[in-house]
Amino acid sequence: MNSDQMYEQVMQRKNKIMEDSLQIDYETFKQGAIAFDYEKMMSDLSYSIDEVMNIQNETQVGQTPLWELKHLTKLIRKISPKGKGATIVMKDEAANPSGSFKDRRAALAVYEAKRKGFKGVIAATSGNYGAAVASQAAKQGLKCIILQETFDSKGLGQPEIVEKARKCEALGAEVIQLSVGPELFYTALTMLEETGYFNASLYSPYAIAGVESLGYELARQVQEQYGKEPAAVCVTHAGGGNVTGTARGLKKFGNKHSKIVGVSVDLKGLHMASDEDFNRKSFTTGHTGFSMPFTTNPDRSDVPRNAARPLRYLDRFVTVTQGEVFYATELLAKLEGLERGPAGNTSLAAALVLAQQLDEDEIVVVQESEYTGAGKHPTAQLNFAKNQGVTVTKGDPHDNKPGSAIVIPEHIQQMDVQEVDIERIRKSYLRNILNKVDARNLETVDKEFLSLEVNRDLDYIESYLETEITFHHS
Amino acid sequence: MGEIKEGTWVEIKNILLRPEDRSNRLPDDTKKVSYEMRARGYLLEDTNVNDQADIKTLSGRIITGELVEENPGYNHGYGPPVMELLDIGEEEKKILENK
Protein backbone atom coordinates (compact mmCIF):
# COMPACT_ATOMS: atom_id res chain seq x y z
CA MET A 1 0.00 0.00 0.00
CA ASN A 2 1.24 3.51 -0.77
CA SER A 3 1.88 5.29 2.50
CA ASP A 4 -0.48 8.09 1.53
CA GLN A 5 -3.33 5.54 1.47
CA MET A 6 -2.73 4.40 5.06
CA TYR A 7 -5.50 4.95 7.57
CA GLU A 8 -3.96 7.79 9.59
CA GLN A 9 -2.66 9.59 6.50
CA VAL A 10 -6.06 9.56 4.78
CA MET A 11 -7.85 10.67 7.96
CA GLN A 12 -5.50 13.63 8.21
CA ARG A 13 -6.69 14.78 4.76
CA LYS A 14 -10.34 14.43 5.82
CA ASN A 15 -11.23 18.15 5.86
CA LYS A 16 -9.70 18.83 2.44
CA ILE A 17 -11.42 15.81 0.86
CA MET A 18 -14.73 16.85 2.40
CA GLU A 19 -14.40 20.39 1.14
CA ASP A 20 -13.53 19.27 -2.39
CA SER A 21 -16.25 16.63 -2.59
CA LEU A 22 -19.05 18.80 -1.18
CA GLN A 23 -17.81 22.25 -2.18
CA ILE A 24 -19.24 23.67 1.00
CA ASP A 25 -17.20 26.09 3.08
CA TYR A 26 -18.52 25.27 6.54
CA GLU A 27 -16.20 27.87 8.08
CA THR A 28 -18.48 30.70 6.92
CA PHE A 29 -21.18 29.56 9.35
CA LYS A 30 -18.87 29.29 12.36
CA GLN A 31 -19.68 31.44 15.40
CA GLY A 32 -18.09 31.84 18.83
CA ALA A 33 -16.09 28.96 20.29
CA ILE A 34 -18.31 26.05 19.29
CA ALA A 35 -21.43 27.48 17.63
CA PHE A 36 -22.49 27.77 14.01
CA ASP A 37 -25.45 29.45 12.35
CA TYR A 38 -27.59 26.43 11.49
CA GLU A 39 -30.50 28.32 9.94
CA LYS A 40 -28.14 30.39 7.81
CA MET A 41 -26.47 27.19 6.60
CA MET A 42 -29.84 25.68 5.71
CA SER A 43 -31.08 28.80 3.90
CA ASP A 44 -27.81 29.73 2.15
CA LEU A 45 -26.94 26.26 0.89
CA SER A 46 -30.25 24.60 0.48
CA TYR A 47 -33.50 25.12 -1.35
CA SER A 48 -36.91 26.55 -0.48
CA ILE A 49 -39.72 24.06 0.09
CA ASP A 50 -41.18 24.91 -3.36
CA GLU A 51 -37.83 24.31 -5.04
CA VAL A 52 -37.41 21.03 -3.14
CA MET A 53 -40.80 19.82 -4.31
CA ASN A 54 -40.14 20.90 -7.91
CA ILE A 55 -36.80 19.07 -8.01
CA GLN A 56 -38.40 15.94 -6.51
CA ASN A 57 -41.35 16.15 -8.88
CA GLU A 58 -38.97 16.15 -11.87
CA THR A 59 -37.68 12.72 -10.78
CA GLN A 60 -41.03 11.22 -9.69
CA VAL A 61 -40.22 11.52 -6.00
CA GLY A 62 -42.76 12.44 -3.33
CA GLN A 63 -46.51 13.16 -3.44
CA THR A 64 -46.99 9.76 -1.81
CA PRO A 65 -50.40 8.67 -0.51
CA LEU A 66 -51.50 9.04 3.09
CA TRP A 67 -53.56 5.96 3.99
CA GLU A 68 -55.92 5.65 6.91
CA LEU A 69 -55.17 2.29 8.53
CA LYS A 70 -58.82 1.53 9.16
CA HIS A 71 -58.66 -1.96 10.60
CA LEU A 72 -55.70 -1.18 12.85
CA THR A 73 -57.49 1.95 14.09
CA LYS A 74 -60.62 -0.10 14.81
CA LEU A 75 -58.55 -2.77 16.56
CA ILE A 76 -56.86 -0.17 18.78
CA ARG A 77 -60.26 1.35 19.70
CA LYS A 78 -61.51 -2.10 20.73
CA ILE A 79 -58.73 -2.45 23.29
CA SER A 80 -58.47 1.22 24.41
CA PRO A 81 -60.30 2.91 27.30
CA LYS A 82 -63.57 4.55 26.24
CA GLY A 83 -62.99 7.68 24.14
CA LYS A 84 -59.38 6.74 23.39
CA GLY A 85 -57.92 5.33 20.19
CA ALA A 86 -56.69 7.94 17.69
CA THR A 87 -57.03 7.42 13.95
CA ILE A 88 -53.78 5.92 12.60
CA VAL A 89 -52.62 7.09 9.19
CA MET A 90 -49.52 6.04 7.25
CA LYS A 91 -47.53 8.00 4.71
CA ASP A 92 -46.79 5.31 2.13
CA GLU A 93 -43.24 6.29 1.26
CA ALA A 94 -42.68 2.86 -0.31
CA ALA A 95 -44.40 4.44 -3.33
CA ASN A 96 -41.23 6.43 -4.10
CA PRO A 97 -39.11 5.26 -7.08
CA SER A 98 -36.62 3.16 -5.12
CA GLY A 99 -39.09 2.23 -2.39
CA SER A 100 -38.42 4.54 0.54
CA PHE A 101 -38.42 8.17 1.74
CA LYS A 102 -34.67 8.21 1.11
CA ASP A 103 -35.45 9.14 -2.51
CA ARG A 104 -36.33 12.59 -1.18
CA ARG A 105 -32.84 13.03 0.25
CA ALA A 106 -31.08 11.52 -2.76
CA ALA A 107 -33.04 13.63 -5.27
CA LEU A 108 -31.64 16.83 -3.76
CA ALA A 109 -28.10 15.51 -3.24
CA VAL A 110 -27.80 14.25 -6.81
CA TYR A 111 -29.39 17.42 -8.19
CA GLU A 112 -26.83 19.49 -6.31
CA ALA A 113 -23.98 17.26 -7.56
CA LYS A 114 -25.10 17.74 -11.14
CA ARG A 115 -25.59 21.49 -10.70
CA LYS A 116 -22.03 21.79 -9.41
CA GLY A 117 -20.68 19.87 -12.40
CA PHE A 118 -19.69 16.59 -10.74
CA LYS A 119 -19.64 13.51 -13.02
CA GLY A 120 -20.64 11.09 -10.33
CA VAL A 121 -21.77 10.59 -6.73
CA ILE A 122 -20.54 8.43 -3.86
CA ALA A 123 -22.53 7.46 -0.80
CA ALA A 124 -21.45 5.30 2.13
CA THR A 125 -24.63 3.60 3.32
CA SER A 126 -25.89 0.10 4.00
CA GLY A 127 -29.50 1.18 3.95
CA ASN A 128 -32.23 2.33 1.59
CA TYR A 129 -30.30 5.52 0.90
CA GLY A 130 -27.90 3.58 -1.35
CA ALA A 131 -30.73 2.43 -3.60
CA ALA A 132 -32.14 5.95 -3.57
CA VAL A 133 -28.84 7.52 -4.67
CA ALA A 134 -28.42 4.82 -7.34
CA SER A 135 -31.95 5.48 -8.62
CA GLN A 136 -31.46 9.25 -8.70
CA ALA A 137 -28.05 8.94 -10.37
CA ALA A 138 -29.73 6.84 -13.08
CA LYS A 139 -32.50 9.41 -13.48
CA GLN A 140 -30.18 12.42 -13.51
CA GLY A 141 -27.42 10.79 -15.62
CA LEU A 142 -24.54 10.62 -13.13
CA LYS A 143 -22.22 7.75 -12.26
CA CYS A 144 -22.76 6.19 -8.88
CA ILE A 145 -20.70 4.23 -6.36
CA ILE A 146 -22.26 2.89 -3.17
CA LEU A 147 -20.11 1.68 -0.28
CA GLN A 148 -21.74 -0.54 2.26
CA GLU A 149 -20.74 -2.37 5.43
CA THR A 150 -22.02 -5.80 4.38
CA PHE A 151 -20.30 -8.80 5.92
CA ASP A 152 -18.46 -10.06 8.98
CA SER A 153 -14.93 -11.53 9.03
CA LYS A 154 -16.34 -14.93 7.99
CA GLY A 155 -17.70 -13.33 4.82
CA LEU A 156 -21.31 -13.73 5.96
CA GLY A 157 -23.50 -10.92 4.63
CA GLN A 158 -26.47 -9.42 6.48
CA PRO A 159 -29.48 -10.34 4.26
CA GLU A 160 -31.09 -6.90 4.42
CA ILE A 161 -27.84 -5.32 3.26
CA VAL A 162 -27.16 -7.94 0.57
CA GLU A 163 -30.60 -7.10 -0.82
CA LYS A 164 -29.65 -3.40 -0.93
CA ALA A 165 -26.51 -4.32 -2.89
CA ARG A 166 -28.64 -6.23 -5.40
CA LYS A 167 -30.96 -3.28 -5.77
CA CYS A 168 -28.13 -0.79 -6.23
CA GLU A 169 -26.56 -2.95 -8.95
CA ALA A 170 -29.97 -3.38 -10.58
CA LEU A 171 -30.12 0.42 -10.77
CA GLY A 172 -26.68 0.55 -12.41
CA ALA A 173 -24.49 1.52 -9.48
CA GLU A 174 -21.11 0.06 -8.58
CA VAL A 175 -21.27 -1.47 -5.12
CA ILE A 176 -18.23 -1.83 -2.89
CA GLN A 177 -18.99 -4.23 -0.04
CA LEU A 178 -16.95 -3.96 3.12
CA SER A 179 -16.43 -5.90 6.30
CA VAL A 180 -17.45 -4.58 9.71
CA GLY A 181 -15.81 -1.39 10.92
CA PRO A 182 -15.99 2.39 11.04
CA GLU A 183 -13.25 2.41 8.38
CA LEU A 184 -16.17 2.62 5.93
CA PHE A 185 -15.56 6.36 6.27
CA TYR A 186 -11.85 5.93 5.47
CA THR A 187 -12.72 3.94 2.35
CA ALA A 188 -15.25 6.58 1.28
CA LEU A 189 -12.57 9.27 1.65
CA THR A 190 -10.08 7.34 -0.50
CA MET A 191 -12.69 6.83 -3.20
CA LEU A 192 -13.88 10.46 -3.17
CA GLU A 193 -10.25 11.47 -3.61
CA GLU A 194 -9.65 8.95 -6.41
CA THR A 195 -12.78 9.69 -8.44
CA GLY A 196 -13.40 13.38 -7.72
CA TYR A 197 -17.08 12.54 -7.31
CA PHE A 198 -19.62 14.36 -5.17
CA ASN A 199 -20.08 13.23 -1.56
CA ALA A 200 -23.81 12.45 -1.44
CA SER A 201 -23.71 12.50 2.36
CA LEU A 202 -26.91 11.77 4.26
CA TYR A 203 -26.09 14.72 6.47
CA SER A 204 -25.52 17.58 4.00
CA PRO A 205 -28.03 20.47 4.03
CA TYR A 206 -29.44 19.12 0.73
CA ALA A 207 -30.13 15.66 2.11
CA ILE A 208 -32.03 17.18 5.04
CA ALA A 209 -33.93 19.76 2.97
CA GLY A 210 -35.10 16.82 0.86
CA VAL A 211 -37.01 15.40 3.84
CA GLU A 212 -38.79 18.70 4.55
CA SER A 213 -41.23 17.94 1.73
CA LEU A 214 -42.28 14.79 3.60
CA GLY A 215 -43.31 16.75 6.68
CA TYR A 216 -44.91 19.45 4.57
CA GLU A 217 -46.92 16.99 2.45
CA LEU A 218 -48.19 15.01 5.40
CA ALA A 219 -49.22 18.16 7.27
CA ARG A 220 -51.17 19.26 4.19
CA GLN A 221 -52.75 15.81 3.66
CA VAL A 222 -53.88 15.52 7.28
CA GLN A 223 -55.25 19.08 7.10
CA GLU A 224 -57.15 18.34 3.88
CA GLN A 225 -58.50 14.96 4.98
CA TYR A 226 -59.21 15.65 8.67
CA GLY A 227 -59.22 19.46 8.97
CA LYS A 228 -56.66 19.50 11.79
CA GLU A 229 -53.06 18.98 12.78
CA PRO A 230 -51.95 15.49 13.73
CA ALA A 231 -51.53 15.13 17.50
CA ALA A 232 -48.41 13.01 17.05
CA VAL A 233 -46.09 12.19 14.18
CA CYS A 234 -44.12 8.98 14.75
CA VAL A 235 -40.79 9.08 12.97
CA THR A 236 -38.39 6.15 12.71
CA HIS A 237 -35.23 7.63 14.23
CA ALA A 238 -31.68 6.64 13.29
CA GLY A 239 -29.18 9.24 12.09
CA GLY A 240 -31.56 12.11 12.81
CA GLY A 241 -32.28 13.28 9.25
CA ASN A 242 -35.78 11.85 9.19
CA VAL A 243 -36.75 13.56 12.46
CA THR A 244 -35.08 16.85 11.52
CA GLY A 245 -36.43 17.15 7.97
CA THR A 246 -39.94 16.02 8.87
CA ALA A 247 -40.19 18.42 11.82
CA ARG A 248 -38.92 21.31 9.72
CA GLY A 249 -41.42 20.50 6.97
CA LEU A 250 -44.33 20.39 9.45
CA LYS A 251 -43.29 23.80 10.81
CA LYS A 252 -42.98 25.21 7.28
CA PHE A 253 -46.56 24.17 6.58
CA GLY A 254 -47.56 25.98 9.75
CA ASN A 255 -48.20 23.13 12.17
CA LYS A 256 -47.71 24.28 15.73
CA HIS A 257 -49.06 21.55 17.96
CA SER A 258 -48.01 18.22 16.43
CA LYS A 259 -45.66 16.32 18.71
CA ILE A 260 -42.60 14.80 17.05
CA VAL A 261 -42.06 11.30 18.42
CA GLY A 262 -38.75 9.68 17.50
CA VAL A 263 -38.95 5.88 17.50
CA SER A 264 -35.96 3.53 17.48
CA VAL A 265 -35.58 -0.22 17.71
CA ASP A 266 -33.82 -1.01 20.97
CA LEU A 267 -30.45 -2.65 20.27
CA LYS A 268 -28.92 -1.85 23.64
CA GLY A 269 -25.89 -3.99 24.44
CA LEU A 270 -24.85 -4.66 20.85
CA HIS A 271 -21.68 -2.85 19.80
CA MET A 272 -22.04 -1.24 16.39
CA ALA A 273 -18.39 -1.75 15.44
CA SER A 274 -18.23 -5.34 16.68
CA ASP A 275 -17.51 -8.04 14.13
CA GLU A 276 -19.25 -10.65 16.30
CA ASP A 277 -22.34 -8.54 17.07
CA PHE A 278 -22.81 -7.48 13.44
CA ASN A 279 -24.93 -10.44 12.36
CA ARG A 280 -26.78 -10.69 15.66
CA LYS A 281 -28.77 -7.60 14.78
CA SER A 282 -32.05 -8.19 12.98
CA PHE A 283 -32.42 -4.50 12.12
CA THR A 284 -29.71 -2.64 10.27
CA THR A 285 -31.31 0.78 10.58
CA GLY A 286 -33.83 2.71 12.65
CA HIS A 287 -32.14 1.47 15.81
CA THR A 288 -30.58 2.93 18.95
CA GLY A 289 -27.06 2.09 17.72
CA PHE A 290 -27.46 5.11 15.44
CA SER A 291 -30.05 7.26 17.19
CA MET A 292 -28.34 7.50 20.58
CA PRO A 293 -24.90 8.65 19.37
CA PHE A 294 -26.34 10.86 16.61
CA THR A 295 -28.78 12.61 18.98
CA THR A 296 -26.20 13.27 21.68
CA ASN A 297 -23.36 14.12 19.27
CA PRO A 298 -24.67 14.98 15.78
CA ASP A 299 -21.35 16.28 14.49
CA ARG A 300 -19.83 12.81 14.70
CA SER A 301 -21.15 12.36 11.14
CA ASP A 302 -19.20 12.38 7.87
CA VAL A 303 -19.56 16.14 7.31
CA PRO A 304 -18.05 18.96 9.43
CA ARG A 305 -21.50 20.26 10.41
CA ASN A 306 -24.36 17.82 10.39
CA ALA A 307 -27.59 19.29 9.01
CA ALA A 308 -29.54 16.66 10.98
CA ARG A 309 -30.02 18.00 14.53
CA PRO A 310 -32.76 15.83 16.04
CA LEU A 311 -32.54 17.10 19.61
CA ARG A 312 -33.82 20.49 18.38
CA TYR A 313 -37.06 18.86 17.28
CA LEU A 314 -37.82 15.78 19.39
CA ASP A 315 -40.80 16.16 21.73
CA ARG A 316 -40.69 12.53 22.74
CA PHE A 317 -38.26 9.68 22.08
CA VAL A 318 -39.32 6.05 22.56
CA THR A 319 -37.90 2.63 21.80
CA VAL A 320 -39.61 -0.57 20.71
CA THR A 321 -38.26 -4.11 20.48
CA GLN A 322 -37.34 -6.05 17.34
CA GLY A 323 -40.14 -8.54 18.08
CA GLU A 324 -42.73 -5.76 18.36
CA VAL A 325 -41.73 -4.34 14.99
CA PHE A 326 -41.98 -7.76 13.31
CA TYR A 327 -45.42 -8.18 14.90
CA ALA A 328 -46.55 -4.75 13.65
CA THR A 329 -45.23 -5.59 10.18
CA GLU A 330 -47.29 -8.79 10.12
CA LEU A 331 -50.41 -7.00 11.33
CA LEU A 332 -50.06 -4.37 8.60
CA ALA A 333 -49.96 -7.15 6.02
CA LYS A 334 -52.75 -9.28 7.51
CA LEU A 335 -55.21 -6.54 8.51
CA GLU A 336 -54.47 -3.77 6.02
CA GLY A 337 -53.23 -5.78 3.03
CA LEU A 338 -50.02 -3.73 2.94
CA GLU A 339 -46.81 -5.76 2.85
CA ARG A 340 -44.04 -3.33 3.74
CA GLY A 341 -40.44 -3.60 4.97
CA PRO A 342 -39.88 -4.07 8.70
CA ALA A 343 -37.45 -1.20 9.39
CA GLY A 344 -39.92 1.38 8.11
CA ASN A 345 -42.56 -0.10 10.41
CA THR A 346 -40.61 0.83 13.54
CA SER A 347 -42.77 3.93 13.91
CA LEU A 348 -45.92 1.86 13.25
CA ALA A 349 -45.14 -0.31 16.28
CA ALA A 350 -45.04 2.82 18.45
CA ALA A 351 -48.13 4.35 16.82
CA LEU A 352 -50.16 1.26 17.83
CA VAL A 353 -49.34 2.11 21.46
CA LEU A 354 -49.57 5.92 21.25
CA ALA A 355 -52.99 5.75 19.56
CA GLN A 356 -54.32 4.05 22.71
CA GLN A 357 -53.21 7.06 24.79
CA LEU A 358 -54.75 9.68 22.47
CA ASP A 359 -58.39 10.69 22.09
CA GLU A 360 -60.55 9.14 19.39
CA ASP A 361 -60.84 12.37 17.43
CA GLU A 362 -57.06 12.79 17.17
CA ILE A 363 -54.69 11.69 14.42
CA VAL A 364 -51.44 9.80 14.84
CA VAL A 365 -49.17 9.62 11.80
CA VAL A 366 -46.85 6.77 10.84
CA GLN A 367 -44.56 8.94 8.80
CA GLU A 368 -43.03 6.38 6.42
CA SER A 369 -43.14 2.90 4.97
CA GLU A 370 -40.46 1.14 2.90
CA TYR A 371 -40.38 -1.57 0.23
CA THR A 372 -39.98 -5.20 1.19
CA GLY A 373 -38.50 -8.20 -0.59
CA ALA A 374 -36.03 -11.07 -0.29
CA GLY A 375 -33.67 -10.53 2.65
CA LYS A 376 -35.56 -7.50 3.85
CA HIS A 377 -38.60 -9.17 5.34
CA PRO A 378 -39.57 -10.56 8.77
CA THR A 379 -39.36 -14.15 7.47
CA ALA A 380 -35.88 -13.62 6.05
CA GLN A 381 -34.63 -11.72 9.10
CA LEU A 382 -35.99 -14.24 11.60
CA ASN A 383 -34.61 -17.25 9.71
CA PHE A 384 -31.25 -15.50 9.62
CA ALA A 385 -31.48 -14.69 13.34
CA LYS A 386 -32.23 -18.33 14.17
CA ASN A 387 -29.21 -19.44 12.10
CA GLN A 388 -27.05 -17.04 14.13
CA GLY A 389 -28.18 -18.66 17.39
CA VAL A 390 -30.69 -15.96 18.34
CA THR A 391 -33.79 -17.53 19.90
CA VAL A 392 -37.14 -16.56 18.39
CA THR A 393 -40.19 -17.14 20.59
CA LYS A 394 -43.65 -15.77 21.20
CA GLY A 395 -44.39 -14.14 24.52
CA ASP A 396 -43.95 -10.96 26.51
CA PRO A 397 -41.88 -8.44 24.50
CA HIS A 398 -40.28 -7.25 27.75
CA ASP A 399 -38.26 -10.50 27.63
CA ASN A 400 -36.68 -9.40 24.34
CA LYS A 401 -32.87 -9.25 24.58
CA PRO A 402 -31.02 -7.67 21.62
CA GLY A 403 -28.62 -10.14 20.02
CA SER A 404 -29.83 -13.20 21.91
CA ALA A 405 -33.66 -13.32 22.15
CA ILE A 406 -36.35 -11.99 19.87
CA VAL A 407 -39.75 -12.20 21.54
CA ILE A 408 -42.78 -11.65 19.31
CA PRO A 409 -45.91 -10.44 21.14
CA GLU A 410 -48.75 -12.96 21.36
CA HIS A 411 -51.42 -10.31 21.83
CA ILE A 412 -51.89 -6.72 20.69
CA GLN A 413 -52.29 -5.72 24.38
CA GLN A 414 -48.63 -6.66 24.99
CA MET A 415 -47.34 -3.92 22.69
CA ASP A 416 -45.50 -1.22 24.60
CA VAL A 417 -43.01 1.60 24.19
CA GLN A 418 -40.10 2.49 26.45
CA GLU A 419 -39.62 6.21 27.08
CA VAL A 420 -36.15 7.58 26.52
CA ASP A 421 -35.52 10.35 29.07
CA ILE A 422 -34.87 13.35 26.81
CA GLU A 423 -33.56 15.29 29.78
CA ARG A 424 -30.76 12.72 30.07
CA ILE A 425 -30.11 13.00 26.33
CA ARG A 426 -29.80 16.79 26.67
CA LYS A 427 -27.28 16.43 29.48
CA SER A 428 -25.36 13.90 27.47
CA TYR A 429 -25.30 16.28 24.47
CA LEU A 430 -24.01 19.13 26.66
CA ARG A 431 -21.38 16.86 28.23
CA ASN A 432 -20.12 15.96 24.76
CA ILE A 433 -19.79 19.67 23.94
CA LEU A 434 -17.95 20.42 27.19
CA ASN A 435 -15.49 17.62 26.40
CA LYS A 436 -14.34 19.82 23.52
CA VAL A 437 -14.35 23.23 25.18
CA ASP A 438 -13.92 24.79 28.61
CA ALA A 439 -17.31 26.08 29.78
CA ARG A 440 -15.66 29.35 30.90
CA ASN A 441 -14.68 30.11 27.28
CA LEU A 442 -18.21 30.00 25.90
CA GLU A 443 -19.51 33.27 24.49
CA THR A 444 -23.12 34.49 24.44
CA VAL A 445 -23.54 33.24 20.87
CA ASP A 446 -22.41 29.77 21.98
CA LYS A 447 -24.96 29.71 24.80
CA GLU A 448 -27.71 30.79 22.43
CA PHE A 449 -26.65 28.03 20.06
CA LEU A 450 -26.74 25.44 22.84
CA SER A 451 -30.16 26.64 23.89
CA LEU A 452 -31.46 25.99 20.34
CA GLU A 453 -29.59 22.68 20.16
CA VAL A 454 -31.28 21.21 23.23
CA ASN A 455 -34.55 23.09 22.73
CA ARG A 456 -34.43 24.77 26.14
CA ASP A 457 -34.22 28.44 27.19
CA LEU A 458 -31.04 30.35 27.93
CA ASP A 459 -31.56 30.06 31.71
CA TYR A 460 -31.40 26.28 31.38
CA ILE A 461 -28.00 26.56 29.65
CA GLU A 462 -26.67 29.15 32.12
CA SER A 463 -27.62 27.04 35.09
CA TYR A 464 -26.16 23.87 33.55
CA LEU A 465 -22.87 25.65 32.79
CA GLU A 466 -22.73 27.17 36.26
CA THR A 467 -23.02 23.75 37.85
CA GLU A 468 -20.32 22.43 35.54
CA ILE A 469 -17.93 25.27 36.28
CA THR A 470 -18.49 24.99 40.04
CA PHE A 471 -17.99 21.24 39.91
CA HIS A 472 -14.85 21.22 37.77
CA HIS A 473 -13.10 24.46 38.61
CA SER A 474 -13.73 25.26 42.26
CA MET B 1 -9.02 -23.97 -9.94
CA GLY B 2 -10.11 -23.13 -13.47
CA GLU B 3 -9.41 -20.19 -15.67
CA ILE B 4 -12.18 -17.65 -16.12
CA LYS B 5 -12.58 -15.98 -19.51
CA GLU B 6 -12.21 -12.29 -20.27
CA GLY B 7 -15.55 -10.47 -20.28
CA THR B 8 -17.12 -12.70 -17.62
CA TRP B 9 -19.00 -11.00 -14.71
CA VAL B 10 -16.93 -11.81 -11.62
CA GLU B 11 -16.32 -10.97 -7.98
CA ILE B 12 -12.98 -9.93 -6.55
CA LYS B 13 -11.85 -9.33 -2.98
CA ASN B 14 -9.10 -7.33 -1.33
CA ILE B 15 -7.68 -6.72 2.08
CA LEU B 16 -7.81 -2.95 2.54
CA LEU B 17 -6.30 -2.78 6.02
CA ARG B 18 -4.44 -5.45 7.99
CA PRO B 19 -5.25 -5.62 11.73
CA GLU B 20 -2.17 -3.55 12.66
CA ASP B 21 -3.16 -0.82 10.17
CA ARG B 22 -6.79 -0.48 11.29
CA SER B 23 -8.37 2.29 13.33
CA ASN B 24 -7.33 2.32 16.99
CA ARG B 25 -10.90 2.83 18.12
CA LEU B 26 -12.25 -0.68 17.58
CA PRO B 27 -13.55 -3.39 19.87
CA ASP B 28 -11.09 -6.28 20.27
CA ASP B 29 -13.01 -8.76 18.10
CA THR B 30 -12.94 -6.35 15.15
CA LYS B 31 -9.38 -5.15 15.73
CA LYS B 32 -7.95 -8.67 15.33
CA VAL B 33 -9.34 -9.24 11.81
CA SER B 34 -8.48 -7.59 8.49
CA TYR B 35 -10.65 -4.95 6.86
CA GLU B 36 -11.85 -6.43 3.57
CA MET B 37 -13.76 -5.39 0.47
CA ARG B 38 -15.57 -7.22 -2.28
CA ALA B 39 -16.63 -5.82 -5.65
CA ARG B 40 -18.01 -7.07 -8.93
CA GLY B 41 -17.35 -6.26 -12.56
CA TYR B 42 -16.30 -7.58 -15.99
CA LEU B 43 -13.01 -9.50 -16.09
CA LEU B 44 -10.49 -7.71 -18.33
CA GLU B 45 -8.36 -10.74 -19.25
CA ASP B 46 -8.39 -14.53 -18.77
CA THR B 47 -7.45 -15.17 -15.11
CA ASN B 48 -7.31 -18.14 -12.74
CA VAL B 49 -9.44 -18.15 -9.61
CA ASN B 50 -7.44 -16.85 -6.58
CA ASP B 51 -5.05 -14.92 -8.87
CA GLN B 52 -4.93 -11.14 -9.10
CA ALA B 53 -7.44 -9.87 -11.63
CA ASP B 54 -8.39 -6.53 -13.18
CA ILE B 55 -12.10 -5.82 -13.55
CA LYS B 56 -14.20 -3.01 -14.97
CA THR B 57 -16.98 -2.04 -12.54
CA LEU B 58 -20.48 -0.74 -13.32
CA SER B 59 -19.27 2.84 -12.84
CA GLY B 60 -16.47 2.21 -15.36
CA ARG B 61 -13.56 2.08 -12.89
CA ILE B 62 -10.80 -0.48 -13.37
CA ILE B 63 -9.83 -2.10 -10.08
CA THR B 64 -7.63 -5.03 -9.05
CA GLY B 65 -8.18 -7.81 -6.56
CA GLU B 66 -8.12 -11.53 -5.90
CA LEU B 67 -10.51 -13.33 -8.25
CA VAL B 68 -13.19 -15.07 -6.16
CA GLU B 69 -15.79 -16.46 -8.54
CA GLU B 70 -17.61 -16.05 -11.84
CA ASN B 71 -21.28 -15.09 -12.07
CA PRO B 72 -21.60 -14.24 -8.37
CA GLY B 73 -25.21 -14.86 -7.38
CA TYR B 74 -27.70 -13.12 -5.16
CA ASN B 75 -28.44 -15.90 -2.73
CA HIS B 76 -30.50 -14.04 -0.15
CA GLY B 77 -34.12 -15.11 0.03
CA TYR B 78 -36.84 -15.71 2.60
CA GLY B 79 -36.21 -19.21 3.88
CA PRO B 80 -38.82 -21.53 5.34
CA PRO B 81 -42.04 -20.17 6.85
CA VAL B 82 -41.56 -18.76 10.34
CA MET B 83 -44.15 -20.36 12.59
CA GLU B 84 -43.92 -17.51 15.11
CA LEU B 85 -45.30 -15.15 12.44
CA LEU B 86 -47.86 -17.35 10.71
CA ASP B 87 -50.82 -16.97 13.04
CA ILE B 88 -50.41 -13.25 13.69
CA GLY B 89 -53.67 -11.58 12.68
CA GLU B 90 -56.07 -14.40 13.58
CA GLU B 91 -56.78 -13.30 17.13
CA GLU B 92 -56.81 -9.66 16.09
CA LYS B 93 -59.44 -10.36 13.41
CA LYS B 94 -61.58 -12.01 16.07
CA ILE B 95 -61.30 -8.89 18.25
CA LEU B 96 -62.44 -6.80 15.25
CA GLU B 97 -65.42 -9.10 14.76
CA ASN B 98 -66.23 -9.08 18.50
CA LYS B 99 -65.85 -12.82 18.82
The CATH number assigned to the domain holding B61 equals 2.30.30.760
Instruction: Tell me if chain A has a CB within 8 Å of the CB of B83.
Output: no
Interface ipTM > 0.85? yes
**Could you tell me if residue B59 is inside a domain?**
yes
Q: Is A383 on the interface with B (CB under 8 A)?
A: yes
Query: What is the number of other CB atoms lying within 10 angstroms of the CB of residue B20?
Result: 7
Answer whether residue B99 is part of any domain: no
B85:A379 CB<8 A: yes
- Domain count across chain A: 2
Question: Is B27 within the bounds of a domain?
Answer: yes
* B26, B85, B89 member nearest A382 (Cβ): B85
Whether B67 is covered by a domain: the verdict is yes
Distance from CA of B2 to the nearest CA of A (A): 22
Query: Average of pLDDT values for A210-236?
Result: 98
Any domain includes B16? yes
Enter the pTM of the model: 0.97
**A241-253 vs A102-115: helix axis angle to the nearest 10?**
90
Residue B81 lies in a domain: no
The answer to whether residues A284 and A402 belong to one domain is: yes
Please indicate, yes or no, whether residues A381 and A245 belong to a single structural domain of this protein.
yes
Q: Given pLDDT bands bounded at 50, 70 and 90, which one contains residue B29?
A: very high
Beta strands in A213-326 (DSSP E): 232-236, 259-265, 316-320
A329 and A452 belong to one structural domain: no
- Pair A381, A448 in one domain: no
Q: Is A453 helix (H, G, I), strand (E, B) or coil?
A: helix
Q: Count of domains in chain B?
A: 1
* Ranges of H-type helices in A254-319: 288-296
Mean pLDDT of B25-29: 94
- Decide if B4 contacts B48 (C-beta within 8 A): yes
Give residue A214's pLDDT band: very low, low, confident or very high (50, 70, 90). very high
Question: How does residue B99 score in pLDDT terms, banded at 50, 70 and 90?
Answer: low
Residue A120 corresponds to which amino acid?
G
A411 and A438, same domain (yes or no): no
Q: Report the pLDDT value the prediction gives residue A3, as an integer from 0 to 100.
A: 82
DSSP A266: -
- Spatial neighbors of A255 by CB under 8 A, at least 6 apart, are A219, A229, A230
Residue A302's pLDDT band (boundaries 50, 70, 90)? confident
Q: Where do the DSSP E strands lie in A205-359?
A: 232-236, 259-265, 316-320
**Which residues face A359 on adjacent strands?**
A84
In a domain, A69, yes or no: yes
Shared domain check, A350 and A232:
yes
Structural domain boundaries, residue A275: 61-97+208-419
Closest-CA distance, A311 to chain B, in angstroms, reads: 26
Over residues A155-170, the pLDDT tens digits come to 999 999 999 999 999 9
| CB contact (8 A) between residue B88 and residue A331 | yes
Domain that holds residue B50: 3-72
